[in-house]
């Protein structure tokens, strides 16, 4: 991102509840899939449902900044973010590809870092409690963003009846659609599931060219 864009994002986030330096809100969401034929047990999440644990980051206007949709449902959010040391969010922040002083907001399932701010587990009255309230109000952006995405793409609501690899592709391309092809969705929203798969394949190829 350019400095001017980062400044605008930080200003808009700060306007929500007064938190400085926030450039995105991060969370994980589970997308249901059918039981895979291989390594079935690792895809069972804490609710005993087969899923892909999808890490997603939204900015203050509910635009997607980053999505990782490849981890089995049993994977904790902590592992997903920590594994991104060689490529991904952790690398971007720790190697200062994102300017110092910029932060993501995450819930208590994430580690607290200089670039990833989490709430106090047992806040004391006063500044800590006020911080937690501001954090919750600001981080709510990602919860609302995920809700909007699932509402817009009904394939993410139910059970994706594809292999984990193909389900990951569908999830990723839905994020691409959410970010870049909002108008296209209005045309396609009444299409059948099979038509969505075709569109996802075409757009995935297009995104790699």
Is a pLDDT exceeding 60 seen at residue 48? yes
Considering the chain, what percentage of its residues have pLDDT values greater than 70?
Answer: 84
DSSP label at residue 21: T
Rounded to a whole number of angstroms, the distance between the first and last alpha carbons of the chain is 21
For the entire predicted model, the pTM comes to 0.83
Residue 178 pLDDT class (50, 70, 90 cuts): confident
Give the integer Cα–Cα distance in Å for 100 and 97: 9
Q: Which of 112, 157, 155, 151 is nearest to 131 (CA)?
A: 112
Is a pLDDT exceeding 80 seen at residue 19? yes
- The token pair that represents 165 in the structure block: 């690899």
Q: Which of 193, 180, 177, 107 is nearest to 142 (CA)?
A: 107
Give the integer Cα–Cα distance in Å for 163 and 158: 15
Is a pLDDT exceeding 70 seen at residue 82? yes
Residue 209 pLDDT class (50, 70, 90 cuts): very low
Say which range, 66-70, 123-127, 174-178, 203-207, has the weakest mean pLDDT.
203-207
Helix (H, G, I), strand (E, B) or coil at 88: coil
Is a pLDDT exceeding 70 seen at residue 73? yes
Is a pLDDT exceeding 70 seen at residue 208? no
Can you give the pLDDT at residue 197? 59
């Amino acid at each position: 991102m350019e400095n001017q864009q980062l400044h605008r994002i930080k200003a808009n986030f700060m306007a929500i509840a007064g938190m400085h330096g926030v450039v995105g809100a991060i969370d994980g969401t589970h997308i249901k899939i059918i039981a895979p034929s291989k390594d079935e047990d690792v895809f069972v999440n804490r609710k005993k449902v087969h899923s892909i644990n999808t890490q997603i980051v939204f900015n203050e206007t509910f635009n997607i900044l980053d999505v990782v949709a490849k981890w089995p449902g049993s994977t904790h959010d902590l592992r997903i973010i920590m594994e991104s040391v060689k490529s991904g969010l952790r690398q971007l922040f720790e190697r200062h590809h994102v300017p110092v002083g910029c932060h993501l907001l995450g819930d208590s399932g994430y580690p607290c870092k200089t670039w990833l701010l989490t709430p106090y587990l047992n806040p004391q009255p006063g500044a800590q409690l006020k911080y937690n309230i501001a954090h919750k109000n600001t981080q709510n952006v990602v919860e609302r963003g995920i809700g909007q995405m699932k509402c817009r793409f009904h394939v993410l609501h139910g059970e994706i009846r594809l292999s984990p690899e193909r389900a990951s592709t569908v999830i990723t391309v839905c994020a691409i659609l959410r970010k870049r092809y909002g108008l296209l969705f209005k045309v396609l929203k009444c299409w059948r599931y099979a038509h969505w798969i075709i569109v996802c394949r075409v757009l995935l190829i297009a995104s790699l060219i």
